[in-house]
């Protein structure tokens, strides 16, 4: 793949400086870029890296334009522009529409003639697969599941009964959508399973990473809003509602019946308790323990950064003494109030 700087500029409606005939043949980081590559500068604190950069084109903002005298795309959002340029270099797997001979497809299933059904796929009763969708090797679609158009299941994805997947969705290998939620009722010393009767409904333009588990609802449906992006190794429990255009990083766990608004971002290894509501436009930094509803947009944190073990042990000891210190402070305040009352 190769494309000229002028063509990219026209394609993205982004102005350029330098030689429009310059040919771009690949993408790379600032440190690794070589002749033919395009890279980007988003954070000005890395401007010094441009001094030794060998890229043929750099994407940068007008504020940082003076740091680079070579060929450039001038963009207010360098990272976004880089993402759009990089699409030109995606490797497209050749695939012909149709059903692989090794696939097992129930005769009641509705498979669009332009869909691709890969090797060793299992498609059960009443499943629907839309136009131009790609079901990769080893995937399993259980009864009455539906996938709309232009959606890709990469490989070994399991879609349970009645789950609905929207258009232009990408689900990476090993993910399980619609398994039973963790619902049990206590009967003496025993646990009795509560039937999980809801579904999972995934909106349009959603990406779901590798080895993600999204549980079906117990009674209500589990909902994933349009445009939401979910990283690898995330667990979303039953009845959770995730709003539109959320971003959920790896190793996040969201407990049952939590409700997320729009544009919620959750940093890696965070945990959210169930039955709480998160308003729109909230960001939780990594390793946050989210136990209460949030009603105000903003950035929230709770994880403690790593520090030398000796310092951490001292801080833990201090933390254990907080209640004693609080009681002593309250006692001093009461004595001070008594003293001031006696003076009056």
Residue 82's CB is within 10 A of a number of other CB atoms, namely 19
Residue 294 pairs in a beta bridge with: 278
Integer CA distances (angstroms), 30 to 34, 55, 71, 179, 321, in order: 9, 7, 14, 43, 49
Name the nearest CA neighbour of 225 among 208, 246, 253, 256: 246
Q: Is 238 a catalytic residue?
A: yes
- Give, for 80, the enclosing helix (H) or strand (E): helix 78-86
Integer CA distances (angstroms), 134 to 104, 174, 207, 225, 334, in order: 15, 15, 14, 21, 71
- Give, for 299, the enclosing helix (H) or strand (E): strand 298-300
Q: Which of 100, 112, 235, 238 is catalytic?
A: 238
Name the nearest CA neighbour of 289 among 273, 276, 307, 306: 273
CA distance linking residue 167 with residue 70, whole number of Å: 41
Place of tokens 């006692």: 331
* Helices 78-86 & 5-12 angle (0-180, nearest 10): 110
Integer CA distances (angstroms), 180 to 147, 165, 200, 235, 284, in order: 20, 17, 10, 12, 27
For CA atoms 166, 285, 238, 294, give the dihedral sign: negative
Catalytic residues: 238
């Amino acid at each position: 793949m190769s494309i000229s700087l002028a063509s990219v500029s026209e394609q993205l409606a982004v102005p350029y400086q330098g030689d429009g005939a310059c040919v771009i043949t690949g993408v790379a980081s600032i440190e690794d870029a070589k002749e033919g590559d395009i890279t980007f500068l988003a954070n000005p604190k890395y401007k010094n890296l441009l001094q030794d950069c060998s890229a043929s084109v750099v994407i940068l903002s007008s504020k940082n334009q003076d740091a680079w005298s070579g060929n450039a795309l001038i963009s207010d959002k360098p990272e976004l522009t880089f993402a759009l340029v990089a699409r030109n270099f995606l490797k497209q797997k050749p695939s012909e529409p149709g059903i692989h001979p090794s696939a097992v497809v129930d005769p009641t299933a509705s498979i669009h003639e332009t869909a691709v059904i890969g090797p060793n796929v299992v498609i059960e009763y009443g499943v629907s697969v839309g136009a131009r969708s790609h079901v990769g090797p080893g995937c399993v679609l259980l009864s009455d599941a539906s996938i709309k158009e232009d959606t890709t299941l990469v490989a070994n994805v399991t879609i349970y009964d009645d789950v609905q997947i929207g258009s232009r969705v990408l689900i990476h290998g090993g993910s399980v959508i619609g398994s039973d939620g963790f619902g049990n009722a206590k009967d003496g010393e025993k646990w009795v399973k509560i039937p999980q009767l809801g579904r999972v409904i995934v909106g349009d333009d959603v990406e779901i990473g590798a080895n993600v588990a999204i549980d079906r609802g117990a009674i209500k449906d589990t909902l994933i809003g349009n445009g939401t992006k979910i990283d690898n190794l995330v667990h979303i429990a039953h009845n959770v509602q995730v709003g539109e255009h959320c971003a959920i990083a790896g190793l996040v766990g969201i407990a049952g019946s939590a409700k997320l608004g729009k544009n919620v971002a959750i940093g890696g290894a965070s945990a959210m308790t169930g039955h709480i509501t998160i308003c729109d436009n909230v960001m939780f930094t990594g390793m946050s323990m989210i136990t209460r509803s949030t009603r105000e947009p903003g950035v929230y944190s709770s994880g403690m950064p790593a520090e030398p073990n000796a310092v951490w042990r001292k801080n833990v000891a201090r933390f254990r003494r907080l209640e004693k210190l609080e009681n002593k402070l309250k006692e001093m305040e009461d004595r001070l109030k008594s003293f001031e009352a006696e003076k009056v």
